[in-house]
Amino acid sequence: MTDCIFCKIVRGDIPANKVYEDDEVLAFKDIRPAAPVHILLIPKRHIESMLNTSREDEALLGKMLALTPVIAREHGLGAGYKTAINTGLAGGQEVFHLHLHILGTPQP
């Protein structure tokens, strides 16, 4: 998917404020934050949306969910945070590379 903006971020073709990376997933700050902390967590492999996943993606999806408290705590969200995965046009998805939003306000 050469014209996918998140694939471009994965390849390093366009910059992003990265906060976590391993061989399978990447997390970076949302360019238009809807909360004081707004991070997007994506698989490096191009998957359009949750509608394009299957049971074979259980490990990857489980890993992404299990990473959310790790990333959240690192950004001051140890007291709590929201997650969202907008799925499909009818689900409000704008960028068609699967991504999990992590949103919150750091607590003192």
31 binds ligand AMP (CB under 6 A): yes
To the query of whether residue 101 is one of the catalytic residues in this protein, the response is no
Which residues from 32-71 bind ligand AMP, rule CB under 6 A? Answer: 32, 40
Alpha-carbon separation of residue 55 from 17, 42, 51, 107 (angstroms): 31, 18, 11, 36
Q: 91 is written with which tokens?
A: 């689900």
- Rounded CA-CA distance 61/100 in Å is 10
Stretch that binds Zn ion, among 1-9, 61-69, 74-82, 99-107 (CB under 5 A): 1-9
4 binds, among Zn ion, ligand AMP, none (CB under 5 to 8 A by kind): Zn ion
